[in-house]
Amino acid sequence: MQKRWNILTADTEKVKALQDALKVHPVLCKILVQRGIETFESAKQFFRPQLTALHSPWLMKDMEKAVERIITAINNDEKILVFGDYDVDGTTSVACMYQFLKKLHTNLDFYIPHRYREGYGVSKAGIDFANENGFTLIISLDCGIKSADLIAYAKSIGIEFIVCDHHLPDDNLPPAVAILNAKQKDCHYPYKELCGCGVGFKLMSALAERMNLPPEAAFEYLDLVATAIAADIVPMTGENRVLAFHGIMKANQNPNYGIKALAKLSKLVKQLHITNLVFMIAPRVNAAGRMDDARKAVQMFVAESEEEALHYAEMLHSDNTDRKEADKTITEEALSMIRENTDWKNRSSTVVFQPHWHKGVVGIVASRIIETYYRPTIVLTQSGEYAAGSARSVPGFNLYEAIHACKEHLLGYGGHFAAAGMTLELDQVNAFREKFEQVVSSTIDPNMLVPEIVIDAEITMKDIKQSFYDILCQMEPFGPENLRPVFLLRKVQDTGWSKIVKEEHLRFSVQQDNVTITGIGFNMADKFPLLANKKPIDIVCTIDENEWNEQKSLQLRVIDVRAAG
């Protein structure tokens, strides 16, 4: 698939000024300026994130009300229910808050709604469980901001709510005792991009301060907070960066038993990085909710011994194995359907449906299909008497608006710019497919149907030195708005040693100005002719470290390659 290369620029005067201050390679200064880091002081805060830089939790609207209500509940020995969503952000939020409060209060339990029986967020079944078991206070984490009717129902039966959420509020707010959400219009909290677990962390910090506990009482859970930040794909800036940086340190030095158990099952022997939390922890936790019940993810995180955590981790590991198998099978079936239907190949959208597909993985499958057919994609399956599914977009295209334009064919839908879900009558699938294609094809910018690679800077092979790489590593943790830097190397040539490995991948051996370096391009075997013809090529890549027989060397992780222009 042909890709667009977009090379970023930066103000040359700002780059020069920063280089004079930092005395590091100008390319690194260019990348920092592109990311809003323009002074020695801002660079110092970026490279050495300090927990002292975190904002006071009391700046968040309703924090005083939330803390007072929890302290009243503790003093009156009320039953408190910690309620969270079934994904990584929700389960880590619940695990943190439950463990924190457990040290202060014994009349406590947690609740995770079942993905298929109860759906996303606060559920009536959860409120009824609280009512039947004598709970008078529910702390909802990573959900609740859009549950005005359900929280009103809870209030009517004597159950009060504290909502900790980070999703965009509606105009109609729930009648909770306190709402902690920095995205509220009248909340003046300085950082708006916390995940749900981050909001819960701010509440724990405020409680620790009010109850004269040491700061470590909240900091103890930073590895779980970092896991939520990594998995929820929130910007890796400001407080998120500080929390993730120190959370990864905690995960490497003294990890939560659940993180330790999953690292063991994943056969991870090196240091944990943010990418491990994204690709090792997150899929296994999410798989619990997709394939079965996410309650066991919380049970793993709150386990009081390694053995207990491993017991639950093995269940999550098994769920993830099932999830991968379902994901692989359904993706193959869906791609085969598209290939065989010639009318679908040249469309601007993809809508596929099979009644037997597993509901828990249709969103993942939609993302997989986009890797081959780069266009807004919806994967539907049968759920009871209806069709239900998930949609994923390509960058820049408002998926929610497109689905909204097809509402006459839908029973219900919800979501945001990049992802959505919907339910429809089975006999409406074909009509919905055609209407969605009509809407997408008439509104999408054709450029959006060509994948874009954003390149931070052009470098030469002479730039790729250990000192350069060491500073790149100090830019971690990487994530949205602080992605791993991507580089362009122009007019490099094959040394004659490049080759295809394992039939799919391309092992590069390239040179430029008498400097030779190796690299790996996964699933790029089809690009081998570009190297074999001995003509100059341009390479887009990241830089990483290869370890072989206890010897480390820098290598290229190739993203794309084309004949030199």
pLDDT of residue 11: 97
- Name the nearest CA neighbour of 72 among 247, 223, 210, 272: 210
Phi, psi of 451 (to 5 degrees): -60, 140
pLDDT of residue 565: 79
Do 433 and 351 form a contact (C-beta atoms < 8 A)?
yes
Q: How far apart are CA 112 and CA 298, in angstroms?
A: 8
Task: For the chain, list the domains and their CATH numbers.
Answer: 4-10+453-563 (2.40.50.460), 57-317 (3.90.1640.30), 341-449 (3.10.310.30)
Helix (H), strand (E), coil (C) string for 322-383: HHHHHHHHHHHHHHHHHHHCHHHHCCCCEEEECCCCCHHHHHHHHHHHHHHCCCCEEEEEEE
What is the average per-residue pLDDT within 483-510? 96
What is the average per-residue pLDDT within 147-156? 97
Distances, alpha carbon 272 to alpha carbons 87, 251, 269, in Å: 21, 7, 9
Q: How far apart are CA 446 and CA 441, in angstroms?
A: 9
Distances, alpha carbon 533 to alpha carbons 246, 496, 507, 527, in Å: 48, 10, 16, 11
Residues 406/410/416/421 CA torsion (nearest 10 deg): -130
Structure-token pair, residue 179: 């709402």
Do 521 and 565 form a contact (C-beta atoms < 8 A)?
no
What is the overall mean pLDDT for the chain?
95
Phi, psi of 523 (to 5 degrees): 55, 35
Q: How distant is the alpha carbon of residue 456 from its chain centre? A: 22
Residues 185/169/362/441 CA torsion (nearest 10 deg): -60
Percent of the chain with pLDDT over 70: 100
Quickly state the pLDDT bin for 515 (edges 50, 70, 90).
Answer: very high
Q: What angle do CA 253, 254, 255 make, to 5 degrees?
A: 110
Q: Summarize pLDDT for 372-397 with one digit per residue, the tens.
A: 999 999 999 999 999 999 999 999 99
Q: How far apart are CA 343 and CA 188, in angstroms?
A: 52
Do 259 and 88 form a contact (C-beta atoms < 8 A)?
no
pLDDT of residue 547: 82
What is the average per-residue pLDDT within 166-187? 95
Q: Summarize pLDDT for 135-146 with one digit per residue, the tens.
A: 999 999 999 999
| Helical (H) or strand (E) element with 439 | helix 429-443
- Name the nearest CA neighbour of 296 among 304, 285, 283, 307: 285
pLDDT of residue 80: 98
Residues 233/303/141/182 CA torsion (nearest 10 deg): -60
- What single-letter DSSP state applies at residue 462? G
Strands 505-512 and 515-521: antiparallel
What is the average per-residue pLDDT within 70-77? 98
Q: How far apart are CA 320 and CA 297, in angstroms?
A: 12
- Name the nearest CA neighbour of 364 among 407, 329, 316, 313: 329
- What single-letter DSSP state applies at residue 52? G
pLDDT of residue 528: 95
Helices (H), 192-235: 196-210, 216-219, 222-232
Structure-token pair, residue 322: 């099932």
Q: How far apart are CA 404 and CA 386, in angstroms?
A: 19
Helix 257-265 / helix 222-232 crossing angle, nearest 10 deg: 60
Quickly state the pLDDT bin for 416 (edges 50, 70, 90).
Answer: confident
| Among 78-87, 207-216, 413-422, the least confident range | 413-422
pTM: 0.93
Quickly state the pLDDT bin for 345 (edges 50, 70, 90).
Answer: confident
Structure-token pair, residue 503: 């039939």
